[in-house]
């Protein structure tokens, strides 16, 4: 009776060994493929290549897509509302208009030239005295 369970255990151990070797080979293949795919790539490019790979598990692809999301789509933020408040005028509007008109009149009455060291400038770049 001891012979049958030992052969079953040996067969089971051999099957496990075959499966472990197959998994180790698959891991080695995936590592090589990942190294090839990510050579010289940045973090975003790596995540993008992972979430676009249909052969990978859905959970891994979803995590990679979540990691890429802030860099691919702008974050939607609520619009800030401006609080506009009217200010009380310290000077009455009529007085402001009067001051602005006086300033404009003064600008219109000033000659179109300025005096520099006793010479007149006619405004066209030459400083000749004969206008």
Please indicate, yes or no, if residue 110 is contained in any of the structural domains.
Answer: no
Please indicate, yes or no, if residue 123 is contained in any of the structural domains.
Answer: no
Beta strand ranges found along 21-129 (DSSP E): 115-116, 119-120
pTM score, whole prediction: 0.34
Question: What's the CA dihedral at 27, 29, 31, 36 to 10 degrees?
Answer: -170
pLDDT of residue 115: 55
Domain hosting residue 43, numbered range: 7-72
pLDDT of residue 100: 94
Q: What is the pLDDT along the chain (131 residues), one digit of tens a residue?
A: 466 777 888 899 999 999 999 999 999 998 988 787 777 778 888 889 889 989 889 999 999 999 999 888 888 888 888 888 888 878 888 999 999 999 988 888 776 655 566 555 555 655 555 54
Number of domains in the chain: 1
Please indicate, yes or no, if residue 112 is contained in any of the structural domains.
Answer: no
Please indicate, yes or no, if residue 30 is contained in any of the structural domains.
Answer: yes
Q: Are the C-beta atoms of 48 and 68 separated by less than 8 Å?
A: yes
């Amino acid at each position: 009776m001891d012979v049958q369970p030992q052969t079953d255990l040996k067969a089971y151990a051999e099957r496990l060994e075959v499966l472990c070797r197959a998994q180790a080979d698959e891991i080695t293949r995936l590592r090589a493929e990942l190294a090839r795919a990510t050579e010289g790539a940045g973090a975003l490019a790596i995540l993008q290549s992972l979430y676009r790979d249909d052969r990978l598990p859905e959970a891994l692809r979803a995590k990679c897509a979540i990691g890429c999301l802030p860099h691919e789509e702008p974050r939607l933020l609520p619009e800030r509302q401006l609080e506009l408040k009217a200010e009380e005028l310290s000077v009455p509007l009529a007085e402001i208009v009067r001051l602005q008109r006086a300033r404009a009149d003064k600008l219109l009455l000033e000659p179109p030239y300025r005096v520099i060291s006793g010479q007149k400038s006619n405004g066209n770049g030459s400083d000749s005295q004969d206008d």
